[in-house]
Amino acid sequence: MPAITYEDNSYALGEGESVLDCLAREGHDIPSSCRSGVCHSCMLRATSGELPPAAQKGLKDAHRAQGYFLSCCCHPEGDLTVTRADDATQKVAARVLRKETLNDRVLRVVLETDKPLEYFPGQFVNFARPGGLVRSFSLASVPALGNELEFHVALVLGGSMSGWLHHEAAPGDPLELLGPLGNCFYVSGNPEQPLFMLGTGTGLAPLYGILRDALNQGHRGPIHLFHGALLASDLYLTESLRDLDGKHENFTYHASVRDEPGEDWMEQGAVDTLALKTAPDLKGWKVFLCGNPDLVKQVQRKTFMAGANMKDIHADAFLPAGGG
């Protein structure tokens, strides 16, 4: 019979038992309610082994890609190692490798780690400094393109972490990374699906990772990336994104400026208005939204009203904690 490994203990799965039944029999308190795959309260994560498709039915693509499953519906044919859904984070020692100014407020911070961090581009990690200061930053890097980890850090007025990274951090300074977390990332399997990406500020960071990951995996469907700012000087990575636009026929980069005229290749106006004018019918599209939390919430509703399926709308709102 298959064996279920959980919290360093291994249990033989009984005849007809689900993973939930097995763990409950052994005295583990796994949250559950409906026991029919509807409520999702019994979700666990497999770290090794093959999951039956029925155990992931109804889950978002991002959850399936990370090994999450419904334990009440899981009847595996082989051994599984599982963990609680909220125990899936890693702790990795890292060091500042280099820094690069992207605009007046945004810094590219590149880290190196003692061991590889397993992540999907677009997820975020928590930076932990000695002394207990913790802040979250999204990954702009792509593991298939190199081992270095890239982050875009906006300087927050009075921000403890952003201020340290901008003004004090030097190559070799240590950090601990906790994560990754988040479900805003590209999942292969539907290479013809159109992708709609919209971000403001350093909400571009996860989109930049997702975009390059999709292109690197050979995504063939149209990809539109909309980056909005109040002023033209607030935009960044414009040359890199315009270069990608020129190299990939299926990718279009849209830069918009709200409060002043930009350069002739930029659009003027609110980024969400311009984006939905460009792509008014989002039925069948996958949507990625990152940046200002109020705007993200508004555009979630607008993209749903424009036809996007709720399970295909992935959002990552940026809200600096404790001053940044």
Question: Domain check: are 130 and 172 in the same one?
Answer: yes
What is the pLDDT confidence band of residue 179, given thresholds at 50, 70 and 90?
Answer: confident
pTM, entire model: 0.80
pLDDT at 321: 43
- 250 burial via Cβ count (<10 Å: 0-12, 13-18, 19+): middle
pLDDT at 61: 80
pLDDT at 298: 95
Name the residue range of residue 22's domain. Answer: 3-87
Residue whose C-alpha is closest to residue 100's, from 148, 57, 61: 148
The mean-pLDDT minimum among 90-94, 138-142, 221-225 falls in 90-94
pLDDT tens digit sequence for 184-218: 899 888 999 999 999 999 999 999 999 999 999 99
Work out how many domains the chain is built from and give that number: 3
Q: In whole angstroms, what is the distance from residue 203 CA to residue 271 CA?
A: 13
Question: Domain check: are 216 and 303 in the same one?
Answer: yes
Question: Domain check: are 75 and 119 in the same one?
Answer: no
Is the confidence at residue 312, as pLDDT, over 80?
yes
Question: Domain check: are 219 and 150 in the same one?
Answer: no
Look at residue 322 and tell me if it is in a domain: no
Question: Domain check: are 13 and 53 in the same one?
Answer: yes
Question: Domain check: are 111 and 82 in the same one?
Answer: no
Place of tokens 């002394």: 131
Look at residue 186 and tell me if it is in a domain: no
Is the confidence at residue 322, as pLDDT, over 60?
no
Mean pLDDT of 267-295: 95
CATH number at residue 202: 3.40.50.80
Look at residue 208 and tell me if it is in a domain: yes
Last residue of a domain, one of 138, 153, 181: 181
Look at residue 189 and tell me if it is in a domain: no
Place of tokens 């659009």: 267
Q: In whole angstroms, what is the distance from residue 256 CA to residue 235 CA?
A: 9
Question: Domain check: are 94 and 166 in the same one?
Answer: yes
Question: Domain check: are 223 and 175 in the same one?
Answer: no
Is the confidence at residue 270, as pLDDT, over 60?
yes
CATH number at residue 46: 3.10.20.30
Give the C-alpha distances (Å, rounded to integers) separating 294 from 298, 300, 301.
Answer: 6, 10, 11
Last residue of a domain, one of 28, 63, 87: 87
Question: Domain check: are 237 and 306 in the same one?
Answer: yes
Q: In whole angstroms, what is the distance from residue 211 CA to residue 314 CA?
A: 14
Look at residue 70 and tell me if it is in a domain: yes
Question: Domain check: are 51 and 95 in the same one?
Answer: no
Question: Domain check: are 74 and 142 in the same one?
Answer: no
Last residue of a domain, one of 55, 87, 119: 87
Question: Domain check: are 63 and 105 in the same one?
Answer: no
Look at residue 97 and tell me if it is in a domain: yes
Is the confidence at residue 112, as pLDDT, over 90?
yes
Look at residue 188 and tell me if it is in a domain: no
Look at residue 301 and tell me if it is in a domain: yes
pLDDT at 319: 55
CATH number at residue 172: 2.40.30.10
The mean-pLDDT minimum among 26-35, 140-149, 214-223, 275-284 falls in 26-35
- Exposure string over 13-44, b if 16+ CB within 10 A, otherwise e: beeebbbbbbbbeeeeebebeebebeebebbb
pLDDT tens digit sequence for 55-76: 998 887 878 888 889 999 999 9
Q: In whole angstroms, what is the distance from residue 60 CA to residue 68 CA?
A: 10
